[in-house]
Amino acid sequence: MVITFNELREIKHRLPTGSVSRIAKELDLSEQTVRNYFGGDHYDEGDVVDFHLEPGPNGGAVDLKDTRIWDLALKILEETEQS
C-alpha cells in the first residue's frame, strides 16, 4: 500500500489518546514500534517497521508492506467517529 508520509502522520495525529498503547497491545508489539510505524525517529528503541520511504512531495511516498497497524488505526478512528 502506498501513501504519502504526510497522510501517515495525519492519521497518527487524528488518533485519540491511548491509541498507540491499544494498537501495541492488540498486535503484541511495543509502543515504540507503533510510534516508529507512524514516522517516529527513535529507532534505537522498538523495531523498525517494514516500510519503504521514497523522497518526494508531501513528505515522500511510503510503501507500507504490513498494514496491520494502519488497518487498526483506521478502525479506531471509525469507532471514534461513531461515538
Range of the domain at 42: 2-82
| Cα Rg of the chain (Å, integer) | 12
CB 69 within 8 A of CB 37: yes
What are the φ/ψ torsions at residue 8 (nearest 5 degrees)? -60, -45
**Each residue of 9-67: pLDDT tens digit?**
999 999 999 999 999 999 999 998 898 888 765 445 555 555 666 778 888 888 888 89
Separation between Cα atoms, residue 33 and residue 20, nearest integer Å? 9
Burial class (CB in 10 A: 0-12, 13-18, 19+), 9: middle
What's residue 49's pLDDT? 57
Which residue do the cell numbers 513528505 mark? 59
Count how many domains the chain has: 1
